[in-house]
Structure 1
Amino acid sequence: MLSNEQIRGLLKDIEADNVERTVSTNKTDKFCEAICAFANDMPGHDTPGYLFIGADDKTGEIAGIEVSDQLLQNLAGHRDSGQIVPLPSLIEENDRDLFQQMTALGFWDVQNNCSTNAGALLFAESPQNWFPGAYIQYVRFDGDGLEADILDERKFTGDLLTILRELDAFIKTLFPSRPVPVSSLREEQRTPYPNWAIRELLMNAVMHRDYQSNAPVTFYWFYNRIEIQNPGGLFGSVTPETFPDQNDYRNPKIAEAMKVLKYVNRFRRGIIRAQALLQKNCNPPAKFTINQPNYFLATVREAGS
C-alpha cells in the first residue's frame, strides 16, 4: 500500500506516464482507457499505473470532491465491465514486429530482451529446462494403490501448446463406451468416466498449478478411481470455504491463452460443468482435497461405484 508521502509524490509528478489524473468523477471512458493503457504497459515499465480521480491533471491539486458510497460502487463496477473501450478498428498492417506483438500479449520482456515466464512455457522448445515440473505424468495402475503394477504410463512434455493438444487428443481415447441396462427393455451407452469431465479437471490443473514447483501434474488412473493432482493449493482470494464459487488466477497469462485456444472458459464453470457431467454419467461427485499451500487433488470414482 502506498504511503501518504508516495501518493503526494505521484500527484505532483506531472511528467510521469504511469499516472493519470482527472477532476471528473463520471468520465468513465477516460477511466477505462487509462486502466487499459496501464494494463498493456507498452513502455515496458513493469510497474503499476495510478489513476487519481478528483485531482487536477495539470497541477495535481486535490479538487475536494465528495466520496460517496455510490461513487465507490460505480468505480468498483468498472472492474467487471465487459464494455470495449475504445472500440477497435481493423487495420491490415501496423508495422509491429514479432517482438512488439509478443510484448503486447505479455510474452516478451522488452527491458531484458527475453521471453517472459508465460512466453517460455507456451512457446519454448523445452520449457522444462527452466521449469522442471512443467509436464504431465499419466500412469494407469492395475489396482487401487501406488504399489500396484503399472499397466500404462506416459509423459506429456514440451511447450504448453503441444502438451495441451496431445493431452486433449489422448483423453478422447481412454474411456470407450459400453451398453448399460437401465430397464428390462432399454440400454444406454455409458463410459466409466465422461471424457469432458476428466478433461475439465486436467485443464484446470494445468491452468492453476504452481509452475515454481518441480513436481508435475499427475494423472493417475486406479481400477476404481482417477486422481488428478497439481502442485500449489488455492490461490489469492480463493479459500477452502469459497471454492469453487470464487475464482482467482495464479497464472493469468496462461489462463488467457488457454481460454483463447478454447481449452478453458474462465467463467468459473469448469468445476461446475465437470460435476454435472459426472452426475449425468452416474459417477459420484468429484471430491477435492486441498492441502494449502502444497497441492490440490481431485478424485473421481467410476460410474456406478
Structure 2
Amino acid sequence: MKTLCNSLKILGDPPNDDMPINAGLLFFNEAPERFFESARIELTIMPDPAGDGMIEYEFKGPLDIQIDRAIGFIRSNVIACMTLKHDDTPVADRICNYPLRAVEEAVVNAVYHKDYTSPEPTRITVRPDRIVIQNVPGPDRSISDADISGFNMASTRYRNVRIGDLLKYRGLAEKRCTGIPNMVRSMRGNDSPDPILETDAERSFFRVTLMINPVFVRKKGQICIDMQNNSDISLENRILALLQANPSLSMRELLNALGYYRNASNVYAMVRSMVSEGTIEYTIPDKIRSGNQRIRLRNTE
C-alpha cells in the first residue's frame, strides 16, 4: 500500500513519509470533510430572488466524486436543449440553455483552485436565467484585472498543484490554463453570452456566471423553460438528485429531505417502481422491511 501511495505522490516527505498529504486526504478518503470542513459542493436551486421554493443539495466525498455528482445533477435537472429548424435550409441547429462543457469547466475550476483551509465551500447557485459558480479565494494577483476581463487567466503561480495532477489523472482537468478559454469557446459555440468573471480588489473570491441562452427567453422576458421548484420538479428526479448527493438514504431520511411528513404513499410507490426499473436498489434486498434498510443508486459498474 505504501508503494502505491508513493507512486501516487500522496505521502509526505521524510520523516513524515507515512502520513498522507492534503491532496491524498481529499481524493482517497470517503469523508474528506472530517479533515477539511469546506471540502464539499453546495448547490442551491433558487427559482425566486426571495428564496421561495429554494432547494439545497450537498455533494460530499472525494473531490472527483463531488465533481461527477454535481455535474451529473446539473445535466439531469438543469440543462435543456432544443432543435431549431430553418425555412431556408434542411440543416437544424441544436442549442442548450447552458452548454454542458462550460458548466464542467466552471465547476472543475472552482474545485481545483479553492482554498481548503477556508470554511467556505464551493457554491453553485442555479437561478432562472443563470448559473453562478463561486470559490474562495480569487485569482492570484499576478493575473491582472485586464487579464481577467480578457479571459487570459494564465499564471506562473499555481495553487493546489497536486490536486490539479489528480484531477488530470481523472480526465477532469488539463493543467494548461485551458479551463477559461474552453468555457468561453463552449458558450460562444452555443450562441450564449460570454461568461462573466468576477473578483474583488482583495481577490477574496472568484465567481463565474453563465447566462442562459437568449433563445430560451420568451419575448416578454420570461424563461422559456421555467425553473423547476419544489412542487413541480418530478419526484423521480428529486429522488435521484438526493441519492447523487448521498451514498444511501433510509426511507425516513428520504421523506424528510423531500419534505414529506404524511401522505407519502406516492414516494413509496415511486421507490418501488425505481427499484423494479433498476435505477436504484435496496441495500438489504432480501429483507425489504428491515429496520436497517436503505436505498442507493444502483451500481452499474
Which bracket does the TM-score occupy, shorter chain normalised? 0.5 to 0.7
Give the AA of the match of 1:296.
F
Matched, 1:246 2:154: yes
Gaps of 5+ in 1: 1-97
TM-superposed deviation, 1:164? 2.5
Deviations 1:2-44 (A, max 9, x none): xxxxxxxxxxxxxxxxxxxxxxxxxxxxxxxxxxxxxxxxxxx
Separation in 1, partners of 2:113, 2:123: 13
Give the AA of the match of 1:282.
D
Give the AA of the match of 1:262.
G
- Give the corresponding residue for 2:212: 302
Matched, 1:175 2:83: no
Q: Which has the higher contact order (CA 8 A, sep 6+)?
A: 2
- Give the corresponding residue for 2:165: 256
Whether the 8 Å CA contact 2:64–2:170 is kept in 1: the answer is no
- Give the corresponding residue for 2:181: 272
Tell me the SS of whatever aligns to 1:137. strand
TM-superposed deviation, 1:224? 1.0
TM-superposed deviation, 1:242? 3.5
Q: Tell me: CA distance 1:275–1:172, structure 2 relative to 1, closer, same or farther (3 Å).
A: same
The percent of aligned pairs where both chains have the same amino acid is 24
TM-score when normalising by structure 2? 0.63
Q: Tell me: CA distance 1:150–1:108, structure 2 relative to 1, closer, same or farther (3 Å).
A: farther
TM-superposed deviation, 1:160? 1.4
Matched, 1:211 2:116: yes
- Give the corresponding residue for 2:35: 130
Q: What do you get for the CA RMSD once the two structures are aligned?
A: 2.1
Of stretches 100-109 and 293-302 in structure 1, the one that deviates more from structure 2 is: 100-109
TM-superposed deviation, 1:191? 1.2
Whether the 8 Å CA contact 1:218–1:229 is kept in 2: the answer is yes
Give the AA of the match of 2:182.
R
Q: Tell me: CA distance 1:111–1:183, structure 2 relative to 1, closer, same or farther (3 Å).
A: farther
Gaps of 5+ in 2: 218-301
TM-superposed deviation, 1:151? 4.6
Q: Tell me: CA distance 1:260–1:122, structure 2 relative to 1, closer, same or farther (3 Å).
A: same
Match for 1:230 among 122, 135, 149?
A: 135
- Give the corresponding residue for 2:51: 148
Separation in 2, partners of 1:298, 1:150: 24
How many residues are paired up?
206
Matched, 1:111 2:15: yes
- Give the corresponding residue for 2:125: 220
Separation in 2, partners of 1:297, 1:236: 16
Separation in 2, partners of 1:262, 1:295: 26
TM-superposed deviation, 1:117? 0.7
Separation in 2, partners of 1:194, 1:152: 22
